[in-house]
Structure 1
Amino acid sequence: MTTMKLALALIGAAAGLAAHAQTSTADGIAQYRAMLADGNPAELFEAKGEDLWKQARGPKKASLQQCDLGKGPGVVKGAFVELPRYFSDTGRVQDLESRLLSCMETLQGFDAKAIAATPFGKGEQANIEAYVAWISSESNGLKFNLPQQHPAEKQMYAAGKKLFYLRAGPYDFACATCHGEDGKRIRLQDLPALYKNPGDGVGFAAWPAYRVSSGELWSMQRRLNDCFRQQRFPYPGYASDVTIALATYMGVNSKGATSVAPAIKR
């Protein structure tokens, strides 16, 4: 009995130490992020995006000030927290990046396919990330409320849900492998449960974001691309239905969450 009591006491003490270590680690990560957030370099991308939006550019020498992001031509505020959504002029559900491609092609005469094939951070891809930074900042503090009235929006959500749980690749990974449970973390990176609403400024509601480790602004398209890389999947096409479906699933699940984009990440 004495031996059993001692063993139970040791187990209890170990559990207490583990819980304390976990709390201390979480507090340390929170402090680290608070320091990072003091002066987010994303502001530089925002300024570039706002300036580009007003410039006459492309073969047609036109600005994007008549681009309809879902709230009417030229209306930016509040558009980000309602994307992806269905657009009748293209006949498809689009996220912010794919919608910008459509506007750049239609209004300015750029080749959308060529831009989509350009590596991240290069040429017009870099400009799209600046647009994304500024447009998302105009909805900072607003709550996500993606529309789900159109049949195509509902279908895209359903497709995104299937993709979220799809296990494949050499490691048999799915999005849900990392983001299907509460309390997961890889090093300093929390892994929010994205099958539900993870809360204000978490998960979908925290992107786009400035990545300190790479010194770049990452859009949701780029974030998803890197997730596929980590799953050892082939890269998805830029602005493809696969990425838009996943964004729709996460965005609808984030209904009511407050956007903090563009955020700052490690």
Structure 2
Amino acid sequence: MRNALKPIAIVAALVMSHGTAVAQSTADDIAKYREMIADGNPSELFEMEGEELWKTPRGPMKATLEKCDLGMGPGVVKGASARMPRFFKDTGRVQDLESRLLTCMQTLQGIDPKLVIDGKFNSGERKTMAALVAYVVTHSKGDKVRVDMTNPQMKELYALGERAFYYRTGPMDFSCATCHGEDGKRIRLQDLPNLTKHEGAAAGWGSWPAYRVSNSQFWTMQHRLNDCFRQQRTAEPIYASDVTIALSVYMAAKANGGEVMTPGLKR
């Protein structure tokens, strides 16, 4: 019986080896494809739209966002997203890039945040938000992630983000850690970074927001997190809610010192 099983074991091993080789070859081809189009990243189109929106008077107050303070001073976008999320004294809370832009849109332009919070991705004011994000993050490309974790609220949100990262929910009993808590995981030939380690967090956090080649869309971090909850088959998080910002604080803190590669280019 033992000898009879040997051919079956050999065939199984060959099939598995061939499957692994094919998967690796496909992954390599995807990596080459990304490299080929990197110089012409379609995110540039969203960045251009975002720059125009930044400088265009909008909302009831007919004002631009050129005085928006992202933490580096009014109107300064260079290096701003590399230091976010961060604590802002004027709002008394920790904000990520999108929630901070919501504040600027409300205070400078009179635009109701609910238009974004209650909206849908890729339409209306959420589409506007995506373009603005593309504009801002491009000005941190090549910088180092430098998130200041000394503020007590940052530490509090880090702890909340860590709890949320490991919290299992939904009918499939998934957590963020299910996909991003170990080395060597992959889904649909997409390598999944281990966000619990610096190297993985730097690769993951540092490359989002990003342009998704598969659907020709620019995804912000809020959009990315929303889709993670969807894949867990659980309730959609409220846009710019504490839990989404907390998860961003957790990832950004793990990624501290890594290179900002945004806008990224994804499958």
Aligned partners of 1:109 and 1:225: how far apart in 2? 26
State whether residues 102 and 113 of structure 2, in contact with CA within 8 Å, keep that contact through their aligned partners in structure 1. yes
Q: Which residue is 2:180 aligned to?
A: 179
State whether residues 88 and 94 of structure 2, in contact with CA within 8 Å, keep that contact through their aligned partners in structure 1. yes
Are the structure 2 counterparts of residues 11 and 118 from structure 1 closer, same or farther at C-alpha, using a change threshold of 3 Å?
Answer: closer
Residue 264 of structure 1 deviates from its aligned partner by: 1.4
Residue 207 of structure 1 deviates from its aligned partner by: 0.8
Q: Which residue is 2:195 aligned to?
A: 194
State whether residues 207 and 264 of structure 2, in contact with CA within 8 Å, keep that contact through their aligned partners in structure 1. yes
Are the structure 2 counterparts of residues 111 and 9 from structure 1 closer, same or farther at C-alpha, using a change threshold of 3 Å?
Answer: closer
Q: Which residue is 2:52 aligned to?
A: 51
Residue 259 of structure 1 deviates from its aligned partner by: 1.1
- Quick one: percent identity of the two aligned structures? 55
State whether residues 194 and 201 of structure 2, in contact with CA within 8 Å, keep that contact through their aligned partners in structure 1. no
Aligned partners of 1:136 and 1:145: how far apart in 2? 14
Q: Secondary structure at the match of 1:78?
A: coil
Q: Which residue is 2:69 aligned to?
A: 68
Q: Name the stretch that deviates more: 212-221 or 190-199.
A: 190-199
TM-score of the aligned structures, taking structure 1 as reference length: 0.91
Residue 20 of structure 1 deviates from its aligned partner by: 4.6
Q: How many residues align?
A: 266
State whether residues 42 and 209 of structure 1, in contact with CA within 8 Å, keep that contact through their aligned partners in structure 2. yes
Residue 113 of structure 1 deviates from its aligned partner by: 2.0
RMSD (CA atoms): 2.4
Aligned partners of 1:87 and 1:216: how far apart in 2? 30
Aligned partners of 1:91 and 1:78: how far apart in 2? 22
Unaligned runs of 5+ in 1: none
Q: Does residue 212 of the first structure (1) align with residue 223 of the second (2)?
A: no
Q: Does residue 97 of the first structure (1) align with residue 98 of the second (2)?
A: yes
Residue 174 of structure 1 deviates from its aligned partner by: 0.1
* Deviation by residue 1:106-161 (Cα, 9 ceiling, x = unmatched): 01111112321111111111111001001000000111011111100000111000
State whether residues 210 and 218 of structure 1, in contact with CA within 8 Å, keep that contact through their aligned partners in structure 2. yes
State whether residues 195 and 201 of structure 2, in contact with CA within 8 Å, keep that contact through their aligned partners in structure 1. no
User: 1:72-221, aligned counterparts within 5 Å?
Assistant: 72-198=73-199, 202-221=203-222
Q: Name the stretch that deviates more: 116-125 or 164-173.
A: 116-125
Residue 18 of structure 1 deviates from its aligned partner by: 6.6
Aligned partners of 1:98 and 1:173: how far apart in 2? 27
